Structure 1
Amino acid sequence: MPDPSQDMLCQALELADKAVGFYAKAVADCPEALGREVFERLVADKKKQRARIEEVSQGLVAGKKWEAACVLHEDQPEDMRKVFSQLVPGLPPGKAACMTVVGALSAAIDAELLALGFFREHAAKTTDPVEKAFLAEMIRDQRGFHVLLSDTRYYFEDPQGWYMEKERAGLDGA
C-alpha cells in the first residue's frame, strides 16, 4: 500500500517541476525586463521549494519519520508584497504591457492557486504535526507566490492604478 505522505510529496515535486518549466519559458518569452525579473525570481524560489520537498521526500524514502526527515525552519518568510515594490523603483508609471505577459501572469496565478489548494487539501487530511507544519510552510510559500504574481499582473494591467494604490502617492510626484 503506497504511503500517502510520499505520494503527496511526489505530486508536489511534479507541481514544482512544472512551475519551474513554466516560469523558465516565461523568462525566455517575456518582452518586458520587469516581467522577466519577476519570473526569474519565481524560478529561483520554486527551485528552492522543490529542493525542500525533495529533501523531505528522500528522508521518508530512507525510512525516517517526519520528525527526522523534515527539519522545520524558524526563519521569517519574506514579505512578497514588498518584493514587487522593490523591483520597480524608479520606473515611471507607463502603459499596460502586452497581453502575452498578462496572460502568462494569469496562467501562473491559476497554477499557484491550484498548488495552494493541493497543499491545503493534504494539510486537512494529515494528523502528523510535523507533516502539518511542513504543509503550512508550503501553503505560506504558495500564498507568497500568488501575492507576487497578482501584484505584478496588476502593475502590468494598470500601472497608474498600481502606483496610486501600492505606493500611496500621486502621479505628479507629490
Structure 2
Amino acid sequence: MKDRLDALEIALTNELREYEFYKMNAERTTNPLGKAMFETIAQEELEHYERLQELHKVWEKNNTWPETIPLKVNKTNVQNILKDVLERVAEAPPADMDDLEAIRTAIAFECDGVMHYELLKQGSTEPNEKAFFNLMANIEHEHFVSLKDTEELLVSPDAWFRMRERGGLDGG
C-alpha cells in the first residue's frame, strides 16, 4: 500500500509541476496556438492535481481506495484547439524557439505521465482504481498526440497542411 501512495505522490508532484509549466508558457508566448494549447492543458492539469489530492487525502486516511469520492475528471478538449485556432487565422502562426522548446518539453512530460498512470493502473487490483488511472493515462496520451501535432505544425507548416489536406502531387 505504501508504494501505491508513494506513486500517487509522484503523480501529484508531476501534475502540479506540469500545471505551473503550462501556465508560465501560456503567459510567455505571443503565439495564439501556443497560448491556447498551454492554457487548456494547464487547466486540465490543475483539475488532475485537485482530483489526485482528494484521492490521496482519503486513501492515506483509510488505507484503501476511496469508494465515496467521485473520481471523475473531465475529458480533454485539447484536440480541438489546433482546429479552432487555425480556423481563426489565415496561416500557421510563426513559432519561435522558446515555443518549440516548450512544446518539446511538454511532449516529454506527457509521455512520462502516460507511462506513470499505466504503471499505476497495472499495479492495481481494484476495478475503480484501474478505471481511474486508465482514464488519466488516456487523457495524458491525448495531450501527447496534440502536442506532437502542434510541434509538426510549428516545424513544417507546409508539410503539416499538405498532410491534412490530402492533396495530390500528380504533376499535371
Same fold per superposition (TM over 0.5): yes
The corresponding residue for 2:145 is 147
Question: 1:130, 1:143 → 2: CA distance?
Answer: 20
Q: Report Cα offsets for 1:69-112 as digits up to 9, x if no partner.
A: 5535497x346433321232132224751221111101110111
What's the TM-score, normalizing by structure 1?
Answer: 0.83
- Aligned with 2:128 (options 127, 130, 154): 130
> How many residue pairs get matched?
168
The corresponding residue for 2:154 is 156
What's the Cα RMSD here?
2.5
Question: Could you list the runs of 4 or more consecutive aligned residues of structure 1 that deviate by over 6 angstroms after TM superposition?
Answer: none
Measured at CA, do residues 31 and 59 of structure 1 come closer, stay the same or move farther in structure 2, by a change above 3 Å? same
What's the TM-score, normalizing by structure 2?
Answer: 0.84
Question: 2:96, 2:84 → 1: CA distance?
Answer: 22
Question: 2:72, 2:119 → 1: CA distance?
Answer: 22
Question: 1:87, 1:94 → 2: CA distance?
Answer: 9
Aligned partner of residue 92 in structure 1, secondary structure: coil
Sequence identity, in percent? 21
* Unmatched segments (≥5 aa) in structure 2: none
CA shift, 1:142, in A, is 0.6
Question: 1:87, 1:55 → 2: CA distance?
Answer: 34
1:13 aligns with 2:12: yes
Question: 1:55, 1:74 → 2: CA distance?
Answer: 12
